[in-house]
Amino acid sequence: MVDRAKVEFYGSNTGAQQTTTRIGQLPTQVVVQTITENVTAVPNSHLAESVPIVCVGPSTVRTEESSQSSGAQENGTVVEELNTSRHDTGADPSIGLQLALYVPAEIATPIEDLKLIGIWSSPFYHRIVLALKMKEIEYEYIEEDLTNKSPLLLQYNPIHKKVPVLVHNGKPICESLVILQYIEDTWKQNPILPSDPHEKAMALFWAKFGDDKLLSSVFGFFMKQGKEKEEARNVVGENLKFLEEELKEKNFFGGEEIGFVDLCLVWIVCYLSVLDELNGIKMCDEETFPLLSAWMDRFSSSPIIKEIMPPREKLVRKLQKMQAALLPK
């Protein structure tokens, strides 16, 4: 089954006019295999209320709409040309090298409108960006200013008034863990959650642990002073031990590939070394946490992580200002 094909229509009379359609899940009976294997040819006269589409797997193809100047001519002719020496087309000679699969118009859905409202330094925003990149989903990014919240943010997230917010075809989804699950349910390619129900439940558990226990303890340590800071450091160490244990015999929390829990813990890679620098204490050292340290190195060296890492010096300045504003004077 073809997961997705991007199809561009060019009006034959206007030339430059263009619309784009995506195919979500094509029914098996109308799927044509890749261009090197098998392609079905249908003459123009066989059209009748359908959209001409060349299906060559999840890649970009083109069709060209014709004017309906005669009753016999329907929705258009296909401009994708193939090598007939490798394919016995059985097509009408008037089509020549042009091959097509004609899919009913109701199967084609309008191009998806996807927006992500975030802020460059937000660890919750970073996990959403990673998921979208892993699934190769295009989106429009809107940078938010949390010191002067935009009408758009207040419209789409009136309850929490926080980022990130994913807006899919005008419908908002809020809270990063909820957004990740929505992305997984909506776009099936390159899954980030395991299919096994128990493994999936455990991934959600560790993601929640990362937010509720580890992240809160790390920033609690960051904002404490004196004896309270030492106590907070011990809490961080206890939480890191749980993750160390979970990484036994695994490269990533989901196994051999980056998955849901890794995305949710991306803030460790982005933030922890900066917090260490500001506090003068290394919270996750190689001797105490060898598996977690190796995971951090492995994760941070991944090309997809390098693309989303916030500028270090800019992040240092931001956290310095935050610490100065929140610590007791």
The model's pLDDT over 7-36, given as tens digits with 9 standing for 90+, comes to 333 233 333 233 333 333 333 333 333 333
- Are both 266 and 287 inside the same structural domain? yes
Cα angle for residues 39, 45, 49 (degrees, 5° grid): 85
Residue 76 pLDDT class (50, 70, 90 cuts): very low
Residue 36 lies in a domain: no
On the 0-12 / 13-18 / 19+ scale of CB atoms within 10 A, 81 is: exposed
The answer to whether residues 57 and 5 touch, using CB atoms and an 8 Å cutoff, is: yes
The whole domain housing 182 covers 111-192
pLDDT at 248 over 50: yes
- Are both 202 and 184 inside the same structural domain? no
What's this model's pTM, rounded to 2 decimal places?
0.68
Residue 283 lies in a domain: yes
Residue 214 pLDDT class (50, 70, 90 cuts): very high
pLDDT at 110 over 80: no
Task: Write down the pLDDT at residue 61.
Answer: 36
| Number of C-beta neighbours around residue 74 at 10 A | 18
Separation of alpha carbons 308 and 263, rounded Å: 12
Indicate the residue among 158, 192, 226 that finishes a domain: 192
Residue 231 lies in a domain: yes
Residue 14 lies in a domain: no
- Are both 180 and 271 inside the same structural domain? no
Residue 136 pLDDT class (50, 70, 90 cuts): very high
Residue 45 lies in a domain: no
Residue 312 lies in a domain: yes
Residue 300 lies in a domain: yes
